[in-house]
Structure 1
Amino acid sequence: MSTKDWLEKDYYKVLGVSSDAKPEEIKKAFRKLARQFHPDQNTGNPEAEAKFKEISEANAVLSDAEKRKEYDEARRLFGGGGGFRFPRSGQGTSAEDLFANFTAGSEGGIGDLFGNLFGGGGTRRTSRGPRRGADIEGEVTIDFAESLTGPMVTMQTTSEAACPTCHGTGARPGTQPKACRACQGSGVQTSSSGSVFAVTEPCRECRGRGLIVEDPCPTCAGSGRAQSARSMQVRIPAGVTDGQRVRIKGKGGAGENSGAAGDLYVLVHVRPHKIFGRKGEHLTITAPVTYAEAVLGAEISVPTLDGSPVRLRVPAGTPNGRTFRVRGRGVKTTTGVGDLLVTVEVQVPKHLTDEAKAALASFATLAGDTDPRAELFGAVR
């Protein structure tokens, strides 16, 4: 994620929550928007796809306590709340340069910036220190049943890693990069303005790297980094929902100079089931019953997701659309097991024999049914 994102994007506004929103509020807002703008619900709509990516990006920052803390601090110090402003492009030091270390989550960064702003005192961090690897993203599609158990999936990812030819030095094999003379290998330069203020910025000669590559590696052109494709096994947590973004710590891009690896964010798509649905930790199913079963009552057999049926008693006079609860046959969560919600659907016969029609007419006479729509007309009057 670039520095510009941290400073200019209002992730709270994107999710429609306040800056002091609780984690559960953020989670609820993301789920609502994810359902609304999910690509599967907006086929061929690039605007919805872009909005879905935007809310996913906002959720990735605000749902992570550490990242949210850094984001809030960055906006408080350098965002739109007044106070210090970075120069605009073409007017000297850029926000990207000054914030490079801060957004990487490393020590130094802001402390160095303000230490040098008022004449030194902070610890100077060279750019050759450890750098955290980049976060990467991927998508997987799993079956409905798999989403409840937590499957192991194989993912193909592409990320930056040390160049296999120069092993990250950026120099042609057999040669070594040299320390930058302009910054003595620190990667930063300090420029003074008057006798009080001094501003530290990345060295313009080595672009903040601290090294000069005189004979670049032919594979990476001196950058020391190259695209690396790899296959990995990833465990998707049990109970994942469609559109959920799962964070796999340490499975992202490789770090530099022994820095920690980034994280992998997996967008999970869940294929709908033919007969089962989901409502939180509960499974749902619609079970058809005959007219006679609804009127007279019956004991019916209902399938469950694991294949073993359950017996359900339908009382006499059950109306269409009534829902029954079978406890303990839903989704397993960390707090327990949900239920199976069975909604009955009364099937009205489409074809009747003459004998059946006669029997039904006789039933209507014997039951003495009154006009069920009489109350409607009474209410109108």
Structure 2
Amino acid sequence: MAKRDYYETLGVSKGASADEIKKGYRTKAKELHPDRNADNPEAEAQFKEANEAYEVLKDAEKKAAYDRYGHAAFDGGMGGGPRPGGGQQGDFASAFSDVFDDLFGDFMGGGGGGRGGARQRAARGSDLRYNLRVSLEDAFAGLQKTISVPTSVTCDSCSGTGAEGGAEPVNCPTCSGMGKVRAQQGFFTVERTCPTCNGLGQIISNPCKVCSGAGRTQKERSLSVNIPAGVETGTRIRLAGEGEAGMRGGPTGDLYIFIEVEEHTLFQRESQHLFCRVPVSMSDAALGGDIEVPTIDGGRSRVKIPEGSQSGRQMRLRNKGMPALRGGGSGDMFIELAVETPVNLTSRQKEILREFDKLSEDNNPESSSFFSSVKNFWDSMKS
């Protein structure tokens, strides 16, 4: 049976570029792989045929010979191409490994540069998180605070190289400096982190006695942090380069300060606004008057209570709230009245209240309106 044209096998034209040939092979490899075609007995043969075609067309010299002589270029040993039928498993591994990184590179940590490029020798240090609790007053005014952060710092003994006496690391003999090794498993080439160098690509024959070759040591550092006015719970402050030191001289990570603002005994915060619940007596609510309320900056403000005020009534003090985090003015403060019912009354006080109640039938419009509605409701239910 005549062999199919290699270009036709990969579904590309004769003038296809190297990228188009690779793309065509990738498509066919996915489509025809035996693991995806368990119910198709011809899939394996077609899969090997696609592999054979790609093995020739990916190589510029073999491709030129094929374009000139066709399959005859390899039937008599010309060009040293694959045997008919593509039965050599090693040929498939070679062909498939060219597209392995494109298909799976992101999952293997290679980022598309797995085969050719050497792995980064020095690893970046980890970012660190520090949770910082501040009072509402500090969040209002801002502050400079010193914190202690346990972290990894560059080893002073070896200056971060990890080697004793300033010796230079050498390429790992297991992975030849790649940081990863490959193993053949059936049709697939599987890539793993090198067990000898743990993916660094280099080893240290004489590690530093202080840091044991890591290039960094554990230490508690004191840092001064500027907390700007207006921060709230969830605000994140980044300190670049103040995180964990990198492995073997790698760049330092960052430190992130996460702010949590404590609850306050007097004020409740909603974004830039503050709310303060102020109890007032029945007589003050009925007759009106002035009260003195605190403000978050430690000051005092006088607020006028209108006659006949009810519980829940709010009064606004403009610009007495929290400042905006990055400028733009301040929020407001809201005073919410809570009319307080007196307790532990004396006999005389009770007597006065009963007398007052008899005289105030027309002074409770909300009660009158409510009970009138209740009466209408009951009447409608009866009818």
Q: How does the TM-score come out when normalised to structure 1?
A: 0.61
Gaps of 5+ in 1: 1-82, 87-93, 100-108
Distance 1:134 1:211 in 2: 20
Equivalent residue letter for 1:155? I
Q: 1:205 to 1:305 in 2, by over 3 A?
A: closer
1:78-104 CA-partner distances (Å, limit 9, x unpaired): xxxxx9558xxxxxxx94xx32xxxxx
- Candidates 264, 270, 274, aligned match of 2:265: 274
Local SS of the residue matching 1:364: helix
Q: 1:292 to 1:174 in 2, by over 3 A?
A: closer
Distance 1:257 1:322 in 2: 65
Question: Looking at CA atoms only, which structure, 1 or 2, has the larger radius of gyration?
Answer: 2
Q: 1:175 to 1:246 in 2, by over 3 A?
A: closer
Deviation at 1:133, TM superposition (A): 2.2
Percentage identity across aligned positions? 34
The residue correspondences of 1:37-116 to structure 2 (distance < 5 A) are 84=103, 95=107, 98-99=108-109, 109-113=110-114, 116=115
- Candidates 219, 222, 226, aligned match of 2:217: 226
Distance 2:248 2:197 in 1: 17
The residue correspondences of 1:122-201 to structure 2 (distance < 5 A) are 124-128=117-121, 131-173=123-165, 175-182=167-174, 185=177, 187=179
Local SS of the residue matching 1:152: strand
Equivalent residue letter for 1:163? C
CA contact (8 A) 2:158 2:208 kept: yes
1:291-338 CA-partner distances (Å, limit 9, x unpaired): 111112222221111222112121111111111111110001022210
Deviation at 1:181, TM superposition (A): 4.3
Provide the residue aligned with 2:374 in structure 1.
376
Distance 1:206 1:360 in 2: 88
Gaps of 5+ in 2: 1-101
Provide the residue aligned with 2:197 in structure 1.
206
1:38-73 CA-partner distances (Å, limit 9, x unpaired): xxxxxxxxxxxxxxxxxxxxxxxxxxxxxxxxxxxx
Which moved further from structure 2: 324-333 or 133-142?
133-142
The residue correspondences of 1:247-258 to structure 2 (distance < 5 A) are 247-256=238-247
Provide the residue aligned with 2:281 in structure 1.
290
Deviation at 1:209, TM superposition (A): 2.4
Distance 1:348 1:200 in 2: 77
Provide the residue aligned with 1:329 in structure 2.
320
Provide the residue aligned with 1:339 in structure 2.
332
1:190-249 CA-partner distances (Å, limit 9, x unpaired): 78999xx98876555433323222222233332323223211111223222235444333
Distance 1:182 1:356 in 2: 95
Equivalent residue letter for 2:297? D
Provide the residue aligned with 2:302 in structure 1.
311
Local SS of the residue matching 2:150: strand
Q: 1:189 to 1:353 in 2, by over 3 A?
A: closer
Q: 1:125 to 1:324 in 2, by over 3 A?
A: farther
- Candidates 348, 365, 377, aligned match of 2:358: 365
Distance 1:85 1:291 in 2: 75
Which moved further from structure 2: 335-344 or 150-159?
150-159
Q: 1:342 to 1:164 in 2, by over 3 A?
A: same
Deviation at 1:346, TM superposition (A): 0.8
Q: 1:186 to 1:287 in 2, by over 3 A?
A: same
Equivalent residue letter for 2:121? R
Deviation at 1:273, TM superposition (A): 1.6
Distance 1:168 1:255 in 2: 8
Deviation at 1:368, TM superposition (A): 2.3
